[in-house]
């Protein structure tokens, strides 16, 4: 099977000429982006710029209209690729957390380990508890998602993704649905992940996080990548007029 041809010397994510239409609406107009292992790439831009669609294309939650997405050497736009096996190596964190409300925190963290990784109950729970400790939620293993704050839910969601031992993590505006005082705890977890060398692609409005943690910053608008470079550089000295305009509004 083609998924056995994982090539770890290939870039983690290699996007080539990605185009996405919804009917007549062209959301992505030819995106090229390479993320090497260990990089933390932050994507910023106004709403409707296509940044979420780009992120969601990386694990095929959006079906690209044209172009290629190559994950660790595997072209996942090839219909013969077993997408489930590739997805198991890509962690994803959503704006609205999307925890499974009918399961306890432990259930949320073990279901995919058991069904996809085929781990036994004991091993899956051991991994789950380890990951919960890592995000500071070890004391809530038996709680149900509805009893947790937004920040706690998002940290559990990150732990859930980590349980699959992913090679990379995608974050789709992970703090945008949080009350301001809860943003910090989630960013803290993301920062420690980055420090441990996790490959991360992060769509965010948190410019502070992008500046301090990001190894690269991408500015998107109208379905194009308009600017691209060192986060400090881009944030303090934007070149493109659209970037200047956007940053003057948000900073």
- Total residues belonging to the chain: 251
Q: Which of 68, 85, 129, 240 binds another protein (CB under 8 A)?
A: 85
For the purposes of burial, counting CB atoms within 10 Å of the CB of 58, is it exposed (0-12), middle (13-18) or buried (19 or more)?
Answer: buried
Is residue 112 part of the contact set for another protein (CB under 8 A)?
A: yes
C-beta closer to another protein: residue 12 or 157:
157
Q: Both tokens of residue 68?
A: 């290629």
Is residue 116 part of the contact set for another protein (CB under 8 A)?
A: yes
Residue 50, helix vs strand vs coil: coil
Residue 182, helix vs strand vs coil: helix
Shortest Cβ 146–another protein spacing (Å): 8
Are 238 and 244 in contact by the 8 Å Cβ rule? The answer is yes
Residue with tokens 């945008």: 176
Q: Which of 61, 81, 143, 247 binds another protein (CB under 8 A)?
A: 61
Residues 185, 173: Cα–Cα separation, whole Å: 15
C-beta closer to another protein: residue 58 or 225:
58
**Residue list 129-158, contact with another protein (CB under 8 A):** 157
Rg (CA), the chain: 18
Q: Which of 65, 98, 192, 244 binds another protein (CB under 8 A)?
A: 98
Site residues for another protein per CB under 8 A: 59, 61, 84-85, 87-92, 94, 96, 98-102, 111-112, 115-116, 157, 160-161, 164
């Amino acid at each position: 099977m083609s998924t056995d041809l994982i090539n770890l010397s290939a870039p983690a994510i290699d996007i080539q000429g990605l185009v996405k239409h919804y009917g007549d609406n062209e959301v992505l107009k030819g995106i090229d982006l390479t993320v090497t292992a260990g990089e933390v790439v932050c994507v910023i831009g106004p709403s409707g710029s296509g940044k979420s669609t780009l992120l969601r294309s990386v694990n095929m939650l959006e079906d690209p209209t044209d172009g290629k997405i190559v994950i660790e050497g595997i072209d996942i736009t090839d219909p013969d690729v077993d997408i489930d096996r590739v997805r198991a190596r890509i962690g994803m964190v959503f704006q609205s957390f999307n925890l499974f409300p009918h399961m306890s925190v432990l259930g949320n963290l073990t279901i995919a380990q058991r069904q996809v990784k085929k781990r036994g109950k004991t091993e899956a729970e051991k991994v789950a508890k380890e990951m919960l400790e890592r995000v500071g939620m070890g004391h809530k293993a038996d709680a149900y998602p509805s009893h947790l704050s937004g920040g706690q839910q998002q940290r559990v969601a990150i732990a859930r993704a980590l349980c699959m031992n992913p090679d990379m993590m995608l974050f789709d505006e992970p703090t945008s649905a949080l009350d301001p005082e809860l943003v910090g705890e989630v960013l803290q977890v993301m920062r420690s992940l980055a420090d441990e060398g996790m490959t991360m692609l992060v769509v965010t409005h948190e410019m502070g996080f992008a500046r301090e943690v990001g190894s690269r910053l991408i500015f998107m608008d109208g379905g194009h990548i308009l600017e691209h470079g060192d986060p400090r550089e881009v944030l303090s000295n934007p070149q493109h007029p659209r970037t200047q305009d956007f940053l003057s509004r948000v900073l």
